[in-house]
A = this chain, B = another copy of it.
């Protein structure tokens, strides 16, 4: 083996170091300045020189060094996105919507997940600060991250939840959605309606709780605190839900997000209860499985993709005109009745 002559492998041996603007300029017989103007499309270049430079760049497979560009321009084309949990289809879809719109405007998206943890969110903010992202979209956990970013001149849009006063935001009309869900249950004759929610100060949960209460109040029904189950973030919901199903079981449950709905659904099934005969169930947020199970879940459907798109649009707008007054968009959810809710029979 060592005796066999080594074949020429000139193009393989070195980790061919990247082509730079200077290389292009040299090859095309211009200065780096001109090359920069031609390839970035800013400033005067004669058509002849431009074509020549473009051709050379193409031939050599030139890829501009993003770090150098960002360093010089003091701003990158990467928009940061921080969501609670990428594994949750709601957030995944949200991110997809954001990506769509950003891509059209020729921005990149970088997604990070905090786990609904203020610390991780702050880390994320610092990451984007370090990358000189011009803007960040997030489902905020605490307002620290947003404030840090904004203090450094980074545009911030809050999506789904609204935490920081004076910040652009896109939200769902949670109260209306929750009211619709609750009214639907009331109209079916239910009076013992449980609310399954997350125990936070977030506008989502607060809004959904408010909508639930409003519907009950409008029906002149007292809200029974034992039926309002609020589970802290990061706490396993199963125990609380089981207790709810065991003791003085309500005739209907309104689950305020897709995860709680899934937990509830599984426990209902495990207990051998039947939807909607033994119990009615409504979920806030529609995800694919809810349509596939039998009976399908009645849900408050959110325009999730649109939520993301809208947030991205708002961000782009803010980047263009930083001095505009803060905008808050509110999208309407709507009730989609499937088979998991039915008339109360006694």
Contact = CB atoms under 8 A, between A and B. Distances in A.
Nearest to A154: B15
Contact of A68 (B67, B95, B289): B67
Interface stretch (A28-36, A85-93, A171-179, A234-242): A85-93
A118 to B, nearest CB: 16
Interface residues of A, number: 44
A132 interface: yes
Interface stretch (A41-49, A123-131, A183-191): A123-131
A110 interface: yes
Contacts of A92: 86-87, 92
Contacts of A142: none
Q: List the number of copies, as a whole number.
A: 2
Contact of A292 (B112, B130, B132, B293): B293
Contacts of A127: 108
Contact of A293 (B18, B111, B294): B294
Contacts of A126: 63
A116 interface: no
A132 B65 CA distance: 8
A76 interface: yes
A326 interface: no
Contacts of A67: 66-68, 70-71, 76, 131-132
A110 B288 CA distance: 26
Interface in A271-314: 288-289, 292-294
A70 B67 CA distance: 6
A212 interface: no
A131 B78 CA distance: 11
A148 B127 CA distance: 28
A130 B71 contact: no
A232 interface: no
A103 to B, nearest CB: 10
B16 A131 contact: no
Interface in A71-117: 71, 76, 86-87, 89, 92-93, 95-96, 99, 108, 110-113
A265 interface: yes
Contacts of A289: 288-289, 292-293
A63 B153 contact: no
A153 to B, nearest CB: 3
Interface of A: 15-18, 61, 63-68, 70-71, 76, 86-87, 89, 92-93, 95-96, 99, 108, 110-113, 126-127, 129-132, 148, 151-153, 265-266, 288-289, 292-294
The 8 closest A-B pairs by CB, nearest first: A15-B153, A67-B70, A289-B289, A66-B130, A67-B71, A67-B67, A63-B129, A66-B131
Given A265-B292, A293-B294, 4 more contacts: A15-B152, A18-B129, A67-B132, A86-B96
28 contacts: A15-B152, A15-B153, A61-B148, A63-B126, A63-B130, A64-B130, A65-B130, A65-B132, A66-B67, A66-B132, A67-B67, A67-B68, A67-B70, A67-B71, A68-B71, A86-B95, A87-B92, A92-B92, A108-B112, A108-B127, A110-B110, A111-B111, A265-B292, A288-B289, A289-B292, A289-B293, A292-B292, A293-B294
